[in-house]
């Protein structure tokens, strides 16, 4: 007999797309991969298939290195671009700078050069604030730029914006890394294939997301240069990101990206965020602080409102000092979830705003 769940399986909130469960199609893929024995450490049929799937999305020669999590993907990817004295230019609010507990610096040994970006997006002009000092032995050498798509503020780079950043970085001898934890949400919103705003736009290495889009665990580092791929073989092991039973990471990524599951799931999450925004944007007392371009809604609420709403719906403060919160939608967010939350917001504002 199957054990009873320890939680209310019908309850969903708006705190994070990491809160969601595993997509049923991913669970089925895990079950299908479970029989018999397969070669460990990536010598399995599922990791081999993943290479074909990734090449189909990003072009011939693209190689995928499955890893356990997003931090592991980002640190390993950035290490592949840098010598020991290298530095990475990023937005000050980037996940690598704010939410990875110093892992890029402590584990990767690199310096992060954060630049304030009000919408979460770098530009060539912003990059130039830290793109200097080459040849100065007293300064960590800026040798890579890292951007996030979609950004931590739910905003999107256009294809042309990424291409401009790549051209600018390459013109200074720097490489471009793209943190694609929510890459699928960006592609769904932009309506373009994955390669168009990554490899074709000049990205050198990317972190390919999975966990935020329905996987149990797992991401991948995707590279396009054979020399980088050769070095990643060792970096992944050194960073404790080499799975012995890699087939269970690769099988999930294959199930996500081989067909259209990645696009269906991300498109649904984006649509739920748009529905939530439309339901609350005209309410007195609420200010939407960022455009809703993927699956995130950012809003400023009156004092006390967030804490009252959190009694029924989980979500996080983004900037507590100004009452800004973040609401995330997932592949399993329903219209009923959104409508119930919007009604709770509406009721709280009506009752407490005088």
Q: What is the CATH number of the domain that holds 339?
A: 3.90.1150.10
| DSSP letter, residue 15 | S
Looking at the structure, tell me whether residues 60 and 201 fall in a common domain: yes
Tell me the sheet residues that pair with 113.
89
Residue 113 lies in a domain: yes
pTM for the full predicted model: 0.96
Number of domains in the chain: 2
Looking at the structure, tell me whether residues 142 and 235 fall in a common domain: yes
Mean pLDDT, range 20-36, rounded to an integer: 97
> What's residue 46's pLDDT?
98
> What's residue 87's pLDDT?
98
Residue 3 lies in a domain: no
- 112 has a pLDDT exceeding 80: yes
> What's residue 169's pLDDT?
98
Tell me the sheet residues that pair with 207.
179, 221
> What's residue 352's pLDDT?
84
- 75 has a pLDDT exceeding 80: yes
Which CATH number fits the domain that encloses residue 237? Answer: 3.40.640.10
Residue 17 lies in a domain: no
Distance (Å, rounded) from C-alpha 93 to C-alpha 95? Answer: 6
Pair 94, 149: CB distance under 8 Å: no
| DSSP letter, residue 279 | H
Looking at the structure, tell me whether residues 176 and 266 fall in a common domain: no
Of residues 137, 184, 176, 126, the one with CA closest to residue 156: 184
- 43 has a pLDDT exceeding 80: yes
Looking at the structure, tell me whether residues 310 and 241 fall in a common domain: no
Distance (Å, rounded) from C-alpha 208 to C-alpha 218? Answer: 9
Residue 2 lies in a domain: no
Residue 8 lies in a domain: no
Looking at the structure, tell me whether residues 231 and 265 fall in a common domain: no
Which among 257, 272, 301 is the end of a domain? Answer: 257
Pair 261, 25: CB distance under 8 Å: yes
Supply the range of the domain harboring residue 320: 261-346
- 61 has a pLDDT exceeding 80: yes
Whole-number Cα distances in Å, 252 to 24, 186, 188, 229, 233: 11, 20, 20, 22, 21
Mean pLDDT, range 293-300, rounded to an integer: 98
Tell me the sheet residues that pair with 297.
327
Of residues 125, 225, 238, the one with CA closest to residue 177: 225
Mean pLDDT, range 37-66, rounded to an integer: 98
Looking at the structure, tell me whether residues 149 and 280 fall in a common domain: no
> What's residue 279's pLDDT?
98
- 1 has a pLDDT exceeding 90: no
> What's residue 57's pLDDT?
98
Pair 205, 175: CB distance under 8 Å: yes
Looking at the structure, tell me whether residues 232 and 266 fall in a common domain: no
Residue 213 lies in a domain: yes
Pair 149, 197: CB distance under 8 Å: yes
Write the pLDDT tens digit of every residue in 188-238. 999 999 999 999 999 999 999 999 999 999 999 999 999 999 999 999 999
In the chain, the percentage of residues whose pLDDT exceeds 70 is 100
Looking at the structure, tell me whether residues 134 and 204 fall in a common domain: yes
Residue 294 lies in a domain: yes
Instruction: For residue 26, name the pLDDT band (cuts at 50, 70, 90).
Output: very high
| DSSP letter, residue 119 | T
Write the pLDDT tens digit of every residue in 237-276. 999 999 999 999 999 999 999 999 999 999 999 999 999 9
Residue 167 lies in a domain: yes
Which among 257, 290, 305 is the end of a domain? Answer: 257
> What's residue 354's pLDDT?
64
Looking at the structure, tell me whether residues 266 and 132 fall in a common domain: no
In the chain, the percentage of residues whose pLDDT exceeds 90 is 96
Looking at the structure, tell me whether residues 250 and 281 fall in a common domain: no
Which among 257, 292, 317 is the end of a domain? Answer: 257
Looking at the structure, tell me whether residues 203 and 70 fall in a common domain: yes
List, in order, residues 6 or more apart from 98 with CB less than 8 Å away.
92, 152
Looking at the structure, tell me whether residues 189 and 286 fall in a common domain: no
Pair 262, 186: CB distance under 8 Å: no
Tell me the sheet residues that pair with 197.
none
Instruction: For residue 2, name the pLDDT band (cuts at 50, 70, 90).
Output: confident
């Amino acid at each position: 007999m199957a054990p009873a769940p320890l939680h209310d399986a019908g309850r969903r909130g708006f705190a994070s797309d990491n809160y969601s469960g595993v997509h049923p199609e991913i669970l089925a893929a895990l079950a299908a991969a479970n029989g018999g024995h397969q070669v460990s450490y990536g010598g399995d049929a599922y990791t081999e298939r993943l290479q074909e799937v990734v090449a189909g999305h990003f072009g011939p020669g693209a190689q995928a290195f499955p890893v356990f999590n997003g931090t592991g993907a980002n640190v390993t990817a950035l290490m592949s671009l840098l010598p020991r004295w290298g530095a990475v230019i990023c937005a000050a609010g980037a996940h690598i700078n704010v939410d990875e507990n110093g892992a890029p610096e402590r584990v990767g040994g690199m310096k992060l050069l954060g630049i304030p970006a009000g919408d979460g997006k770098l530009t060539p002009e912003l990059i130039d604030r830290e793109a200097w000092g080459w040849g100065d032995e007293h300064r960590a050498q800026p040798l890579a730029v890292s951007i996030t798509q979609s950004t931590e503020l739910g905003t999107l780079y256009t294809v042309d914006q990424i291409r401009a950043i790549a051209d600018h970085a390459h013109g200074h001898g720097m490489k471009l890394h793209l943190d694609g934890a929510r890459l699928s949400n960006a592609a769904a919103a932009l309506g373009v294939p994955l390669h168009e705003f990554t490899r074709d736009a000049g990205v050198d290495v990317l972190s390919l997301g999975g966990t935020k889009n329905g996987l149990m665990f797992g991401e991948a580092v995707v590279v396009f240069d054979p020399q980088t791929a050769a070095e990643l073989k060792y970096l992944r092991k050194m960073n404790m990101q080499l799975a012995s039973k890699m087939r269970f990471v690769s099988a999930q990524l294959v199930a996500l990206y081989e067909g259209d599951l990645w696009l269906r799931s991300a498109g649904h999450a984006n649509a739920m965020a748009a529905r939530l925004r439309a339901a609350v944007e005209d309410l007195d007392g609420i200010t939407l602080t960022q455009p809703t371009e993927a699956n995130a809604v950012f809003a400023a609420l009156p004092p006390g409102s967030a804490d009252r709403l959190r009694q029924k719906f989980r979500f996080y403060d983004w900037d507590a000092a100004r009452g800004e919160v973040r609401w995330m939608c997932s592949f399993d967010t329903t219209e009923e979830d959104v409508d119930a939350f919007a009604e709770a917001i509406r009721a709280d504002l009506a009752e407490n705003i005088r």
